[in-house]
Structure 1
C-alpha cells in the first residue's frame, strides 16, 4: 500500500476544516468559509499563506494573468475551498493547474456546500 503524501500535515489541515464545518455548517458563501479557515488555521498554529498570487509562464514569458489558490499550507500543500453542491471535474482541474503552477505535489479541495457532511478530495501530482 502506498504511503499517504504529507499525512500529518493533511491531518492537521483537515482537522481545521472539520471544525469550521462543525461550527458553521453548510449554506454560507465561500468568502465566509475563507475567513473562518484563516482564523482556525491561525488559532491552531498551522503555517499558511492565504490567497497568494501565483505567477504563470508561457514559453519563458511571464504572463499578466495570475492564479490565486485559497491557501498554501506548510509551504507545500495547495488548499482550495468551495461552497457548492458537489466537487466537479472543473474544480479538480483547477487544483491540478495550481499544482502545475507551484510544482507542489499535493492539493486538497474542501467543499463546505455539501450536505450532510464536509466533502473533500486529495489531488496528488
Structure 2
C-alpha cells in the first residue's frame, strides 16, 4: 500500500475514533470503545479484523501470541487504550507489535483522556522484498 493510501486510511480511522470519543467521552473501559469503533469502521466501509490473534516468533521459533485490537484494511495495526494519559511505554508497545508482525504502520489511540489522543507509529525494522528475493517473510496468523 502506498504512503498516500496509508495516510488516507489512518485519517479515516482517526476520524472514526473522534466520532466515538465525541459521543462517549472518556471514562469507559477499553472494550466499550473497541465495540463502538468497530461500528464506526463498518459504517465507513473499512474492512478490519478485531482482536486478531497473531503469532509471535523469535529466531523463527513460535514463542507466543498477541491479539491486535484492530487490523484495518490488511495494512494498519490499531492499538486502543483507555488511560488518563498515553505514556512512552504505550508507544513502545505499539511499535513492538508492528515489528513483531512485520506491519509498516500502526495507530495508538487513547480514549481515556479528556480529549482523544492518538499517535502514529512506524516499524523501522520492516522486512521488505529485495530484487533477488521478492518474497517477504510472512508471520503466520491464527485463523
The verdict on a shared fold, with TM-score over 0.5 as the criterion, is: yes
Aligned to 2:75: 76
Aligned to 1:31: 31
The match for 1:99 is 98
**Moved runs in structure 1, 4+ residues, more than 2 A?**
none
The residue number in structure 1 matching 2:40 is 40
Select the structure of larger CA radius of gyration: 2
From 118, 121, 125, the equivalent of 2:119 is: 121
Q: Secondary structure at the match of 1:107?
A: strand
CA contact (8 A) 2:51 2:68 kept: yes
Alpha-carbon separation, structure 1, partners of 2:87 and 2:68: 17
Given that 1:54 and 1:101 are in contact with CA atoms closer than 8 Å, whether structure 2 keeps it comes out as no
Is residue 2:107 matched to residue 1:108? yes
* TM superposition score normalised by structure 2: 0.80
What is the RMSD of the two structures over their aligned residues, measured on CA atoms? Answer: 1.4
Gaps of 5+ in 2: 124-143
Report how many residues are paired. Answer: 121
CA contact (8 A) 1:83 1:114 kept: yes
